[in-house]
Structures are given as structure tokens and as C-alpha cells.
């Protein structure tokens, strides 16, 4: 079974620029999550999708972050404009249904100069 | 306010001995707990989980214990192997509804010495 795919693996941008990350979950997984992991911390949930609907985006900084899940499969996370504090690893995870273990991709490491 | 706490940033153990990683939580609504292992430059990998209706779950060398009254769980690895060297994250979810977001601790770096 193919795992969660994320791209790009690394991205370096200057502050105030925009950036987008892509995630392809495990086939058949209805629930998709985006997490932000700052160095030295555990992952923090940004947004959760159930199929193509948003379940929880309470911790998503909506003034600069946006996310969508097209047709309930792939998802993109965008930051515009980026700030220095957005430097982190952005992890995508998926689960089959509800309260099942989440499976993570390898993440995108974002560096803001 | 950190709802999931891993108070030991690091742990060093000899190969073949037991590794015990600890985790405390404060939110009494949590009812599902997981341990993830993370190697550098990779995403977290699911290891083992436990529901709040149980107090122990075992999978090979890995056992998770849950003490609900103390709001404490631990991961035991026996015997420890050098390949177990990684960062271990404790995570919890709960509160009902369709929100299954995980709240993570900061992680514990386990080093298993040959």
C-alpha cells in the first residue's frame, strides 16, 4: 500500500512570499489532516477534512493560511504571505475513518528567510 | 496550556534492556492514546495505540500501559534494539463528535546504545 505522498520535500522562500504544499493521502482514506511541526515541538493540527468538507480549522491562521481538498482526495495547503514564524515542517496525515491511527507523510520543510 | 506532556526530552538505554517512555495528560476528555516513532527527515510512524476502556495493549516488543486515574501512560520496549533509536511522540484524541485531531507531546529522544 502506498503511503501518504507530499511535495515538495523542502522549500525556501523569503518572507511575504507565497508557498503551496501538496498532499496525496492513502487511497480510500476519507479523513485528511494538515499539521505544523515547529522545531522541538510536537505536531500541531492546522486543519482536518472529512472527504472534501472541513471538520476542524480552529487553529488555522485564516488571514494567511488556506487549504482545500479537491474532490475529497488530494489536498493543498497555501501560505500567503509567509512570515518568519511559519518556518516549520508541514505534515499531512490521513486515516481510513474516524478514530483510526493517522498515517503521516514525510512532510515539507519550509524555511523563511 | 500543554495538554499532553512528555517530561523527559531524552532517554539513553543499553541494547537488550527495557526502555520506558512516559506521558502525562490533563484533558479528561481524551479517550484514545497513541505512540508514534519518528526518524530524522521522515514523518511520524504509528507504533501502538490504546483505548481508554483498556489499561494495557501489547504488540510484540511494545506495550502501552494506561492509568486513567493518574492521567498517565507509558510505552515499554523490551528488549531495546539500536534501531529503536528515534524520537517518540505520545498523542491523544477525544471529546466525541467527528473531530479526531491528535494532540501531541513534545517528544522523547530515545538512544539505544549497542
**pLDDT at residue B99, rounded to an integer:** 65
Q: Tell me the chain B residues in contact with residue A43 when contact means C-beta distances shorter than 8 Å.
A: 44, 89, 102, 104
CB B65 within 8 A of CB B55: yes
Mean pLDDT (whole number) for A34-62: 93
Read off the pLDDT of residues A55-109 as tens digits, 9 standing for 90 and up. Answer: 999 999 999 999 999 888 999 999 999 999 999 999 999 998 766 789 999 999 9
Residues in chain B: 114
B69 interfacial to chain A (CB closer than 8 Å): no
**pLDDT at residue A81, rounded to an integer:** 95
**pLDDT at residue B2, rounded to an integer:** 83
Q: For residues B12 and A112, give the distance between their C-alpha atoms in angstroms, rounded to a whole number.
A: 34
Whether cis (ω within 30° of 0) applies to the bond prior to B73 is no
CB B47 within 8 A of CB B39: no
Which of A26, A42, A53 to mutate to test binding with chain B, by most B CBs within 10 Å of its CB? A42
**Whole-number mean pLDDT of chain A?**
93
Beta bridge partners of B113: B14
Strand ranges, E, within A1-113: 5-7, 10-13, 19-24, 31-37, 44-50, 53-56, 65-69, 75-79, 88-95, 103-104, 108-112
Whether cis (ω within 30° of 0) applies to the bond prior to B82 is no
Which of B32, B102, B103, B109 to mutate to test binding with chain A, by most A CBs within 10 Å of its CB? B102
Beta bridge partners of B28: none
Q: Which residue has the cell 503511503?
A: A3
Interface of A with B (CB under 8 A): 4, 31, 33, 40-45, 48, 50, 55-56, 91, 93, 95, 98-99, 101-107
Mean pLDDT (whole number) for A29-57: 93
C-alpha cell at A45: 493540527
CB B19 within 8 A of CB B112: yes
Q: Which residues of chain B register pLDDT less than 50? A: none
Q: For residues B90 and B113, give the distance between their C-alpha atoms in angstroms, rounded to a whole number.
A: 22
**pLDDT at residue B95, rounded to an integer:** 64
Mean pLDDT (whole number) for A6-29: 96
From A55, which residue of chain B is nearest by alpha-carbon distance?
Answer: B99
Q: For residues B54 and B43, give the distance between their C-alpha atoms in angstroms, rounded to a whole number.
A: 28
Q: For residues B88 and B39, give the distance between their C-alpha atoms in angstroms, rounded to a whole number.
A: 9
**pLDDT at residue A97, rounded to an integer:** 76
Give the N- to C-terminal CA distance of chain A in Å, as an integer: 37
Higher per-residue confidence, A32 vs A99: A32
Whether cis (ω within 30° of 0) applies to the bond prior to B62 is no
CB A95 within 8 A of CB A29: yes
Amino acid at each position: 500500500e502506498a503511503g501518504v505522498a507530499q511535495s515538495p520535500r523542502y522549500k525556501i522562500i523569503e518572507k511575504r512570499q507565497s508557498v503551496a504544499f501538496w498532499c496525496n493521502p492513502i487511497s480510500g482514506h476519507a479523513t485528511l489532516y494538515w499539521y505544523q511541526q515547529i522545531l522541538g515541538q510536537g505536531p500541531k493540527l492546522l486543519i482536518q477534512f472529512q472527504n472534501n468538507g472541513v471538520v476542524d480549522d480552529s487553529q488555522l491562521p485564516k488571514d494567511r493560511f488556506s487549504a482545500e481538498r479537491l474532490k475529497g482526495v488530494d489536498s493543498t495547503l497555501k501560505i500567503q504571505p509567509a512570515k518568519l514564524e511559519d518556518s516549520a515542517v508541514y505534515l499531512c496525515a490521513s486515516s481510513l475513518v474516524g478514530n483510526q491511527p493517522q498515517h503521516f507523510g514525510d512532510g515539507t520543510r519550509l524555511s523563511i528567510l | 496550556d500543554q495538554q499532553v506532556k512528555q517530561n523527559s526530552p531524552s532517554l539513553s538505554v543499553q541494547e537488550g534492556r527495557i526502555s520506558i517512555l512516559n506521558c502525562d495528560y490533563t484533558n479528561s476528555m481524551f479517550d484514545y492514546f497513541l505512540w508514534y516513532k519518528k526518524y530524522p527527515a521522515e514523518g511520524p510512524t504509528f507504533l501502538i495505540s490504546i483505548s481508554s476502556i483498556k489499561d494495557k495493549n501489547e504488540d510484540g516488543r511494545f506495550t502501552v500501559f494506561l492509568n486513567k486515574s493518574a492521567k498517565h501512560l507509558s510505552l515499554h520496549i523490551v528488549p531495546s534494539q539500536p534501531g529503536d533509536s528515534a524520537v517518540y511522540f505520545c498523542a491523544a484524541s477525544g471529546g466525541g463528535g467527528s473531530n479526531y485531531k491528535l494532540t501531541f507531546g513534545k517528544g522523547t529522544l530515545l538512544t539505544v546504545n549497542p
